[in-house]
Structure 1
């Protein structure tokens, strides 16, 4: 009886604590809403941007700040950042931008859009100061557009060229006696190579050299244009390992000078006509967004902007990092059936995933296209399944360094029988009512007949995928077959091949949509709608926080953890996705 009461009161206490926490959160949200002060930007402001800040497609809210009204209110999404920089270019209260360049958390196409917005700001007659202690290549790519690029006197600048590395798991699987039974279509479909090879195949090496060269050419071209140095000279610097110190970077004119932080601050003060004791009116990106959100809520004609970011999966999921078919079918259908929505811009930033889920999303977009224009804007990736859900669009925009294509499919069904028996001492047995009732089980190797069944399914899916591209891009079957084969292309290559229509960013895609519906003025309605405050707090206390903790704990090994996790999730499903993780540095 004593133990019963101990359990009873412990449970009761837990319920009280949870209930009290919920009330506190609710009151905090209500209080923060009522007490929220309008942010006003005072004159002589300097907008502060950081290349280390990761820009997702949509705004990422800091749930704790919603309760406390302290700290950063969140990170604006990429489109928000672009609009804010463009707005700042015309804002008399913003005199310039201070760009902090410690590390870079974004992909190639994201950095390109970010850099393009900075170039427009500079072209409007305003100044940009970039400063960093140690600049990575991607940080410098963004920083090089600035009027002044300064480096710490004892810091460094990475300028050694690009390198792409693949992690191969075949040896590990062999040691564990795990047999990955692999089925794929496409000579260049290298997504399964980490499981079946110990080094890159010749085909994969060809395609990687090709798109890596395109990305590097774009990198050198942009820097060369800004720094007034020809690309051949820049390439020679990298090839010779000429940049080994901050002094080298200054001597070869990659930076404008070597400065300590206080010296950069003094120069900015001079630019603003401030004295040495005056404080610079630095404006954070989140505060600038809070002060200008009303500017993006005008007019009646609407263009739907649907963000599709992450792996493509089947079913329903509210996770922000995945594109679940059920959820996105509802979002697209809502935009399609809304008479106020005149056009749809589908923003794709995805390496692909489930082929079946991709087909389902493709179908709903095809229906939408019958009612109104559908324009695709590609981010860092729109490959394999990401291209599958893009190919039907009226027009497709990509950045020069977007990775796309990868038109091919595969399936993996692991045989874990030896692993369980020899490593764990576990065996399996059972009965079945038909010969293939246990098709796909991981406890035994597949028979030749079963392998033919799976390969036939992969072949059929690949054929359908190519047909979608043929019909969507108005290309012949022979042409699509030649440029498919699972091969990854850069945005520039994809445009030359007819897989993409235009080189441009998200704003270009929206402008195209507005032109197609003759909308002189319009407002953008974004999907999915941002999560509410309480929902965001609860989610952060659950799966999102757990993922963040794992990522923090594993550090650089997190990518390998994600790769192994993905193998488990794709067991038996036909996949249309890019090679596991393309790591470029």
Structure 2
């Protein structure tokens, strides 16, 4: 038996060493800078969700599954603007899914890159190109798409499904209490239509977003605003050929023809943005001055540490943020802090913990809050202690208020012939019971 245990311990030790060795090997491989040839173009592909920041994962990098985030896009455009090996950029968009504030920042980044004198060309090569894709692409020097691809500019829409009547039919009662006129998140469970305050809120948001789309396309494509509105409202869908006639794109061609647009003696080599992101800024003699720390608060605010939840998605952990704020506030190398928030809110208690950490960090060095798509509810609460708050015109900021609630499923149990028995001690022991509504005293 002892011999077997020794053998088993030896096997486990070898296995652990192999795993650790593999992890170290992968880390070394992924930390190695890629080769950037002279006369190269940077290829950026934007599609699907664009997260604010995705922490490095050596395994994903090793297997080539690293997605782009906004931080990487910001970094690669800054580096490419001063890298003599890079002759220009091809930006390819396809069904981009992000908020309008991120889209607005992408157009800022593109215009900043253009100031370097290098060209950035947009390619719309998917079967269908939608408003978000075109909004970003229109900021480039020129826009191209295949002759028979489709561009669809339908305007903006907000749809909400209300569950009150459905819940009533199956025997579920949603009980929610909210504080704040515009705190409308629980309405989908407790109402069968929009409250006037919610309708007012969405109408203002849609008006601002639609106006920004029209103004941005008009400015970036040198088209009259009324003509942009006409194209959206009367034509809506365009083939590549029709988009060229309308002035929405500069020409029709295929992706294989794009590199020739840079007019270099030899066809430029391609380097992908994910690979180029590994180039150290110091190798290009940028960011060599005083350091500014950027701390990300991305996702639903919760206690604990940053993580991923199968239901809530990305969680911004209060403990993680507090640790980062405390370390940067103590560091002698860090001269200032940028707190980058992209959060719809979350736990009130966790938001207050972050608020306190921001307040304390601000006493030690300058702290500026930058809001991405969302700085709402608890996200805005955490931002309030910054020296200043900066947001895009289309950032969603505010949503001041709180709510709490539960679902009463007694009637559903009756319909399903389910029974429930409980014993309790204490007047409000059934406060969170799903078998009965709140009493007047419990609501208080």
Structure 2-normalised TM-score? 0.89
Q: Which residue does 1:45 correspond to in 2?
A: 40
* Contact 1:178/1:416 (8 A) holds in 2: yes
Q: 1:34 to 1:50 in 2, by over 3 A?
A: closer
Q: 1:409 to 1:260 in 2, by over 3 A?
A: same
- Separation (CA, whole Å) in 1 of partners of 2:7 and 2:341: 47
- Separation (CA, whole Å) in 2 of partners of 1:242 and 1:70: 40
Q: Which residue does 1:245 correspond to in 2?
A: 239
1:323-402 alignment to 2 at 5 Å?
323-402=316-395
Secondary structure of 1:52's counterpart equals: strand
Q: Which residue does 1:171 correspond to in 2?
A: 165
Q: Which residue does 1:549 correspond to in 2?
A: none
Q: Are residues 1:443 and 2:435 paired? A: yes
Higher mean Cα deviation, 287-296 or 204-213? 287-296
What's the CA shift for 1:423?
2.4
Q: 1:333 to 1:291 in 2, by over 3 A?
A: closer
Q: Are residues 1:291 and 2:279 paired? A: yes
Q: 1:318 to 1:22 in 2, by over 3 A?
A: farther
* Contact 1:82/1:113 (8 A) holds in 2: no
Q: 1:21 to 1:145 in 2, by over 3 A?
A: farther
What's the CA shift for 1:297?
8.5
Q: 1:184 to 1:53 in 2, by over 3 A?
A: closer
Q: 1:444 to 1:79 in 2, by over 3 A?
A: same
Q: Are residues 1:308 and 2:297 paired? A: yes
Q: Which residue does 2:141 correspond to in 1?
A: 147
What's the CA shift for 1:102?
1.7
Secondary structure of 1:346's counterpart equals: strand
What's the CA shift for 1:307?
0.6
* Contact 1:59/1:80 (8 A) holds in 2: no
- Separation (CA, whole Å) in 2 of partners of 1:406 and 1:357: 17
Secondary structure of 2:274's counterpart equals: helix
Secondary structure of 2:346's counterpart equals: strand
Q: 1:93 to 1:194 in 2, by over 3 A?
A: same
Secondary structure of 1:304's counterpart equals: strand
* Contact 1:156/1:246 (8 A) holds in 2: yes
Q: 1:84 to 1:365 in 2, by over 3 A?
A: same
Q: Are residues 1:107 and 2:120 paired? A: no
Equivalent of 1:317 in 297, 305, 320: 305
Secondary structure of 2:305's counterpart equals: coil
1:484-563 alignment to 2 at 5 Å?
none
Equivalent of 2:250 in 246, 256, 279: 256
- Separation (CA, whole Å) in 1 of partners of 2:29 and 2:402: 53
Tell me how many residue pairs correspond in the alignment: 433
- Separation (CA, whole Å) in 1 of partners of 2:270 and 2:363: 48
What's the CA shift for 1:54?
4.1
What's the CA shift for 1:166?
1.5
- Separation (CA, whole Å) in 2 of partners of 1:142 and 1:429: 57
* Contact 1:60/1:75 (8 A) holds in 2: no
* Contact 2:26/2:58 (8 A) holds in 1: no
What's the CA shift for 1:424?
5.4
Equivalent of 2:196 in 195, 202, 205: 202
- Separation (CA, whole Å) in 2 of partners of 1:262 and 1:226: 25
Q: Which residue does 2:111 correspond to in 1?
A: 119
Q: Which residue does 2:71 correspond to in 1?
A: 79
Secondary structure of 1:99's counterpart equals: strand
- Separation (CA, whole Å) in 2 of partners of 1:172 and 1:299: 60
Q: Which residue does 1:221 correspond to in 2?
A: 215
- Separation (CA, whole Å) in 2 of partners of 1:429 and 1:32: 54
Q: 1:16 to 1:192 in 2, by over 3 A?
A: farther
What's the CA shift for 1:363?
1.6
Q: Which residue does 1:281 correspond to in 2?
A: 269
* Contact 1:51/1:142 (8 A) holds in 2: no
- Separation (CA, whole Å) in 1 of partners of 2:163 and 2:318: 30
Secondary structure of 1:103's counterpart equals: strand
What's the CA shift for 1:395?
0.7
Q: 1:430 to 1:70 in 2, by over 3 A?
A: closer
Structure 1-normalised TM-score? 0.68
- Separation (CA, whole Å) in 2 of partners of 1:16 and 1:309: 43
- Separation (CA, whole Å) in 2 of partners of 1:18 and 1:439: 50
Secondary structure of 1:104's counterpart equals: strand
Runs of 4+ in 1 over 6 A off after TM superposition: 12-21
Larger helix proportion, structure 1 or 2? 1
* Contact 1:375/1:393 (8 A) holds in 2: yes
Secondary structure of 2:185's counterpart equals: helix
What's the CA shift for 1:284?
0.8
Equivalent of 2:401 in 408, 424, 440: 408
Q: 1:231 to 1:331 in 2, by over 3 A?
A: same
- Separation (CA, whole Å) in 2 of partners of 1:51 and 1:196: 38
What's the CA shift for 1:22?
4.8
- Separation (CA, whole Å) in 1 of partners of 2:252 and 2:290: 50
